[in-house]
Structure formats: structure tokens, C-alpha cells
Amino acid sequence: MIFAIAMGMGLVEKRTPATSPSGSKVRTGLRARLFAWSLGHADHTQHRLYADRKRALFTQIEGRAGSAPVVVEIGAGTGLNAAFLPTGARWVVVEPNVHFHGRIREAAQAHGLTVDLRDGAAESLPVADGEADAVVSTLVLCSVADVSRSLAEARRVLRPGGRFVFVEHVAAPPGSLLRRVQRLVRQPWGWLADGCRPDQDTGRRLAEAGFADLQMDAFRVSGGVVAPHIAGVATR
């Protein structure tokens, strides 16, 4: 009953998201708006937790033969990673939640990037084979419907030698108490955090994704159920 009322008010999105004129899935509902609003207040915390690591990783993004790099970012959220990208980069953003798009355009302008917002999702990137010098994903693979497919897509759009740069929270080690807690809270957590899965085994999926090289560090932040993280660079 409560669920039905919430559906009626648009608080709960129907399972099938809206479709854009190009046919791809876009998210426009009140739940998407609420998530965009709440994440919009978290940039400062995120910079405190991840900025040093991102700064170090993002220096590995390079264009072809001295030209500005083409960087595809999946799930860019508020666009906070613009601060770490090389000035002049072409920033191709695939962000299904339209309530972030204004912030993303502002971030591009503030940091001297050319932004190209495209309809789509990580699982089916609207990007040509080999078009990207780098693909960036921060705190996104926990939320996608299919991690392996998203990684296969990242690999497809990278040029040979191109880099997949990631910072992600991940599942705790198998058999640990935290892993059990992550499984236990998965459903309510997903509802509150826009489909995020605290027990997503992204590290394993990355190791299986067929990149030529994978440099990956594990670290923890004081984030309770989402404390375990990985960060690194996978090279095609």
C-alpha cells in the first residue's frame, strides 16, 4: 500500500526507465532527482577521501601523439572528476540521470574541458571502438546492472594502450563479517543509494575483463558498510 502510494507520487521509479529520442535509457523521475540533490552535497567529502588518489591516477591519462585526450566518463554524477582531468581534454560523459547534466556542464566550463554528453549507459556505450584514450569510473560499478558487460564496453571503446581509471567501493573479503552484513543490507541500501550494491565483487570482475595490464590497490575508508575500496588503472 505504502509502496503503491510512493509509486503514485513518483518516489519510486518504475522498473523501466524513460527512453530518450535516441532509444537509450534516461532517468528523470523524482528518485533520480533526490539522488542528484543528495550527491550534490557530497563533493567536499569525496574530495577529502579520494582527491590525492585520483590526482595520482589521472596523471596516467594521455592523448595520442601530443593531442588532447578523449576521456569517456561513465556515471559522472556532479562532474567532480573534471577537477582532475588534463586541461583541454575532450570529456565524453555517459550519465543516465539527467538531473546531473547541468552540474556536469558547469564543471566542464570551470575546468577548461570540452564536454560531450551522450545518452546511454555503461553497459552499452554510445562510443565508437577505440575512440577513447581513457575511460573513467569512480563509484559507479557498484550501481550498474552488469559489471562484466560494462568493463567489456570500456575495453571496446579504448584505443590499444588506452587506460581504464577506476576508484570503486567493493565487496569485503568472502567469509568476513562485513561481507555478511553487506549481503544483509543489500536491498534497503540499494533503495536508499540509487541501486548501489555494497557487495559488488568489482575487483574480481576487473581481473577477468581481459585487460593487458591491471594495477590495482586495495584500501579502506571510514565508510562502514562500504569501507573496502579498490583503485587503479587497467590498460588495454
Ligand X SMILES: C[S@@+](CC[C@H](N)C(=O)[O-])C[C@H]1O[C@@H](n2cnc3c(N)ncnc32)[C@H](O)[C@@H]1O
Give me the least distance between CB of 191 and ligand X, in Å please: 14
77 binds ligand X (CB under 6 A): yes
Contact assessment for residue 9 and residue 30, using Cβ atoms and an 8 Å cutoff: yes
With residue 230 as reference, give the H or E element that holds it.
strand 228-235
Cell of residue 7, nine digits: 509509486
Q: According to CB under 6 A, which one of 71, 72, 89, 94 is a site residue for ligand X?
A: 94
Q: How far is the CB of 67 from ligand X (least distance, A)?
A: 25
10-18, 94-102, 153-161, 212-220 -> range binding ligand X (CB under 6 A): 94-102
Q: Is 75 in the site for ligand X (CB under 6 A)?
A: yes
Does position 209 interact with ligand X (CB under 6 A)? The reply is no
| Binder of ligand X out of 57, 71, 74, 98 (CB under 6 A) | 74
Q: Is 202 in the site for ligand X (CB under 6 A)?
A: no
64 φ, ψ to 5°?
A: -85, 130
Which has the closest alpha carbon to 130: 74, 86, 67, 64? 64
In three-state form (DSSP H/G/I as H, E/B as E, the rest C), the secondary structure along 159-225 is: EEEEEEEEEEECCCCCCCHHHHHHHHCHHHHHHHCCCCCCCCCHHHHHHCCCCCEEEEEEEECCCHH
Contact 92, 73 (CB under 8 A): yes
Query: CB atoms < 10 A from the CB of 84, how many?
Result: 21
Which residue's CB is nearer to ligand X, number 46 or number 200?
A: 46
Binding characters for ligand X, 48-67, by CB under 6 A (x = yes): --------------------
Q: Does 122 bind ligand X (CB under 6 A)?
A: yes
Measured CA to CA in angstroms, residue 93 lies from 50, 178, 200, 221 at distances of 20, 33, 23, 27
232 binds ligand X (CB under 6 A): no
Among 139, 147, 171, 226, indicate the residue that binds ligand X (CB under 6 A): 139
Q: Locate 201 and state its grid cell.
A: 565483487
Q: Does 29 bind ligand X (CB under 6 A)?
A: no
In whole angstroms, the minimum distance from the beta carbon of 13 to ligand X comes to: 12
CB of 188 to ligand X, least distance (A): 16
Residues that bind ligand X (CB under 6 A): 39, 46, 74-77, 80, 94-97, 100, 121-123, 138-140, 143-145
